Chains A and B, each alone.
Chain A
């Protein structure tokens, strides 16, 4: 090959590398293809420069090619969307400005929604029996609306979304749960989870059946959570300054802060965080995998230490109400770590040390889950059941099933028997189970347990 041709290849390479959908290995592979094509054309009598032109022309437009690559590697599609925001002309600029206005509208709607009940004589400070179970109903419909608008959801999907939110409102209010009841606490915890899956439906509304979109929603959830925590931290600093400065000039800001800024801000932040995830993808995209890489080993060590301590002290777990919830939360965190790091993983990467670490994490969580499950069953058979115990039991069974099969699949992955896609598919298929369980606790538990 002549230097001239090499220079042309080098030029082609730099041009192709600008495509974010194509990785270095893809470019290498395509270059080998192009060289094969050139060699063949030279073989049938073309000059090198002619052969190069024909070969490039045969490969077709780079736009089409990258689109096909992006379709297969949807995890890279994120970057492409962000890139489009940076470079493309007025069309995307209008688009992102429209997004911004829609976000402001929805955030304002969410912020005002929480004050609407006061118009009807519900006192924000006093009426926890109303506000606690309804908390998710103020902001999440606006968030779902924002996402559905962004994705041009079909009428059928919008109908389903509205129906589910109405069902949620019925679940929160129809049973008239009293402030001391366990059912009220359960609804307060489970309704936001149930409604978050409705938000998930809005999130995937542009392509409801695509499994990988659901994995994108998992990633969205993790990134939304990180942004929300960041906003909350900033909000905390802001309120502290408000208190300090206004108190210094003799005004007491407690009423304004407690009744307006904190609740309205918390609601608006739900929508703002989602907008940040959608619009400023690349920022957290780099941060979140680092966080899971950092905390997966730490949680693994913590869980293993707990198991060792449990064996050494040979005492049972004190399954009081708080302890039950604590262990459920622990399993949820483990599952969250697992799900999130899976959604951020490169599906083609070979199994490595991190996958082994995950296996250790899942197995130790599994052992703890079995111990807790055994304790709860013991208590239920001894003292009879309560809504709390039944919910904790159900959650444990749901998590146990997921973690057990995950452990099996991750084991297969580490031993190179199962592809990563199988692990991913299992988690995607399992997501609706969580949603269904949360809905059951909200809608079925109160009447079954006589509103206790």
Chain B
């Protein structure tokens, strides 16, 4: 099962901000982390990740610094800012609402049959 493209795009911002809230990070590692978290179900491309990081930077939600690793190799590290954390909190509130509502619908009144539908990919 692959998660639909729209859903990937919609969850992209809170996902990246959340990962950066754990620790400062760089593009490739962020992509790896998303892969790891979703068990490979979230299909992220570089074309999604880097423009998104640049947009978040333009909006002031993240900051970036270049650091050199292993000789001449340069790596761009991203750090979440205060406004980024505020944005994350807001997105999280919205996602909680959506997820709670979906859980409510799928559980049905007093019926536990469908609770096993996984929501891990969405939250």
Q: Which residues of A contact B (CB under 8 A)?
A: 25-26, 28-30, 32-33, 35-37, 59-60, 64-65, 67-69, 71-73, 347-348, 418-422
Contacts and interface: CB of A to CB of B under 8 A. Distances in A.
Contact of A33 (B46, B54, B57): B46
Contacts of B50: 26, 29-30, 68-69
B43 to A, nearest CB: 11
Interface residues of B, number: 24
Given A60-B47, A65-B46, A65-B47, A29 B27 contact: yes
A30 B46 contact: yes
A37 B28 contact: yes
Contacts of B39: none
A30 B51 CA distance: 11
Given A32-B76, A68-B48, A71-B51, A348 B57 contact: yes
A25 B48 contact: no
The 9 closest A-B pairs by CB, nearest first: A419-B60, A36-B28, A68-B47, A72-B51, A65-B47, A33-B28, A347-B58, A68-B51, A29-B76
Nearest to A347: B58
Interface string B14-58: 000000000000111101000000000000011110111011011
Interface string B58-79: 1110000010000001111000
A72 B54 contact: yes
Nearest to B82: A417
A69 B45 CA distance: 12
B40 to A, nearest CB: 13
Contacts of B58: 72, 347-348, 419-421
Given A59-B46, A69-B54, 9 more contacts: A30-B46, A33-B27, A33-B46, A37-B28, A64-B47, A68-B48, A419-B60, A419-B83, A420-B58
Interface string B105-119: 000000000000000
B69 to A, nearest CB: 8
A258 B61 CA distance: 58
B76 A421 contact: no
